[in-house]
Structure 1
Amino acid sequence: MAKKVNKDKMSFLDHLEELRWLLVRSSIGILVMASATFFVSDFIFDQIIFGPVDPQFITYRLFCQVSQFFGVDGLCVEEFPFVIQNTDMEGQISMLIWTCITAGFILAFPYILYLVWSFVSPALYDNEKKNAKLFIFISSILFFVGVLFGYFIIVPLSVNFFATFTISDVIKNEFNLSSYMGMIKTSVLATGLLFELPIVIYFLAKLGLVTDEFLRKYRKYAIIIILLVAAIVTPPDVISQIIVSIPILLIYEASIFIAAAVVRNQLKDAKQSTRIQ
């Protein structure tokens, strides 16, 4: 068991011990949720993992309606000319295990946030410690929204693009299972963590490492990077790039407002401290 120590007077080794137990508890939480997802693995694979390979997937139908409204071709899907195959002896069992672990991490994310907050809370002020529930709630919502954005937007656009792209009619697409699953996991987890940007900016602003002026100064470079990323992960049409770019741009703008609020509060606290002295 982790020994109880006065967190206000912890040595470096005590901090390492706390960090070790944070990792242990996080791993246990992930494994518990992964075990739970194992019992619904059929639903996860048939309805969720392989949902985007169905031309009737909800995203494709919505994109088709949008493209027809704007008079743009290329977003309506009738069929996907590819198959997903497994070429490794232990491929399917390995994929089952890692998929359950990934799902376990996603479901256990709020608990992991709670553990992280407990680890860093001794370094915070009392008024900041009171915001623990708000921090966990907002961070969890942002992560889950990012996961859903990756699954319902990034993944279908990627599947549509790579399934229909061809350099010759001679070549037939037969995607490897690990390649397809890697694309799913990367898209979902990357966007989930990307949507945590406002929280990251908040803490960086609290530490004085980032300011709203810095973010505004480099906004144009951020926009270029966002557009490039959107161009890479989407089919080569303007509508798809806009669909992906807008939420990420909004997150960046929200981060600027968060950094500005942190700077204002720090200046306000500094003025109050000067008056008291």
Structure 2
Amino acid sequence: MTQNNPTEDSGLQESFLSHLYELRDRIIKSALAIIVVFLCLVYWAPDIFHLFAQPLLQALPVGGKMIVTDVTGSFFVPMKVTMLVAFLIALPVVMYQLWAFIAPGLYQHERKLIVPLVVSSYSLFIFGMAFAYFLVFPTVFGFMASYNAPLGAEMSTDIDNYLSFAMTTFLAFGITFEVPVVVVVLVRMGLVPLAKLKEIRPYVIVGAFVISAVVTPPDVLSQLLLAVPMSLLYELGLLIARFYVPKPSDDESDGAKDADSKGVDP
């Protein structure tokens, strides 16, 4: 029966605690970055919310307006929107802190992939939100407003409900536009062969329509505006992934470099 070495146990415990302390510091720095940006923007919170609500305001009929059904809604909703904008602006700092935390545990070829992944992920997420704001919102709100006119119904939306709808839509389209990054990572890490990803293309397209039916409003137009870009982005990911197919010679070379840096035999 083997007994644990007290020295080894103490070393493992110290290593675990040091990682926890580092993680705490990274989280604090990320939170501070978001708070600093938020404090810089908070004065313009009403203007930021007005810009945020423009797609709906433009779709309202003449004289239409947004309403507040909660006593504190007129204060907290603009604050929430401003916090969202602050998070997006500070997101590169948050990603850097995450990268700095996990980088020591990565191999050399994985570290080379981190910076392009962070830049592309951030850019695609922002592009997905812009796609929703400039194309999806005006299309969906205009489509819904056209249905209210024949019914004689007045279209007045509570600002808190609008915030919830917009946040869900932004998140859905932001994640959707990450599809090329996911495909490239799967191929580059050797988790799924490129040929297999091409083979399951029909299932991905069906899945795109299922996902769009779940996360978008119950109309065909908005579902198409999510499902079609998702399918096209999957094809883009397959196209880009061809340049990131791992080669045995590269993996052996990276393994040797990592082993040399750690002082062990590859």
Pick the TM interval, shorter chain. Answer: 0.7 to 0.9
Deviations 1:12-68 (A, max 9, x none): 33323322222222211111122222122233122x21211244xxxxxxxxxxxxx
TM-score by length of 2: 0.74
Query: Aligned-pair distance for 1:85?
Result: 1.0
Q: In the alignment, what sits opposite 1:58?
A: none
Q: Residue 108 of structure 1 aligns with which residue?
A: 90
User: Which 10-residue stretch deviates more, 182-191 or 223-232?
Assistant: 223-232
The Cα shift of 1:131 comes to 5.2
CA separation of 1:229/1:168 partners in 2, compared to 1, >3 Å: closer, same or farther?
A: farther
1:150 maps to what in 2?
132
From the superposition, tell whether residues 111 and 78 of structure 1 become closer, same or farther in structure 2 (CA, over 3 Å).
closer
SS of the residue 1:38 aligns to: helix
2:102 counterpart SS class? helix
Show the 5 A alignment for 1:22-171. Answer: 22-46=26-50, 48-55=51-58, 79=61, 83-130=65-112, 132-166=114-148, 169=151, 171=153
1:213 aligns with 2:195: yes
Structure 2 stretches lacking a partner, 5+ long: 1-13, 256-265
Residues 128 and 170, structure 2, Cα contact 8 Å, conserved in 1: yes
CA distance in 2 between partners of 1:81 and 1:236 (Å)? 26
User: Given the alignment of the two structures, is residue 14 of structure 1 paired with residue 24 of structure 2, yes or no?
Assistant: no
**2:10 match:** none
Which AA in structure 1 matches 2:250? D
Query: Alpha-carbon deviation of 1:140?
Result: 2.3
Secondary structure at the aligned position of 1:85 is classed as coil
Opposite residue 31 of structure 1, the aligned amino acid is I
State the Cα distance separating 1:234 from its structure 2 match. 6.7
The separation in 2 between residues aligned to 1:165 and 1:45, in whole angstroms, is: 26
Q: Residues 172-187 of structure 1 correspond to what in structure 2 (within 5 A)? A: 172-187=154-169
Aligned to 1:265: 246
Greater helix content: 2
Contact 2:60 2:145 survives alignment (8 Å): no
Rounded Cα–Cα distance in structure 2 between residues aligned with 1:45 and 1:31: 18
How far off is 1:272 after superposition? 6.2
Number of aligned residues: 244
Secondary structure of 1:157 counterpart: helix
Gaps (5+ residues) in structure 1? 1-9, 56-76
Give the Å deviation of 1:185. 1.8
Partner Cα separation in structure 1 for residue 112 and residue 254 of structure 2? 21
Aligned to 1:7: none
Call closer, same or farther: CA 1:176–1:207 in 2, change over 3 Å: same
- Secondary structure of the equivalent of 1:89? coil
Percent identity, please.
27
Match of 2:207 in 1: 225
Q: Partner residue of 1:196?
A: 178
User: 1 CA distance for matches of 2:56 and 2:179?
Assistant: 30
Taking only aligned residues, the RMSD between alpha carbons, in angstroms, comes to 3.5
Greater than 6 Å deviation, 4+ residue runs: 271-274
C-alpha distance after superposition, 1:238-273 (max 9, x if no partner): 6x66554443222212333455544x3243435769
AA of the residue aligned to 1:194? T
The amino acid across from 2:248 in the alignment is: L
Instruction: Summarize the Cα distance change of 1:155–1:229 in structure 2 as closer, same or farther, 3 Å threshold.
Output: farther
Question: Cα distance 1:121–1:258, how it changes in 2: closer, same or farther (>3 A)?
Answer: farther
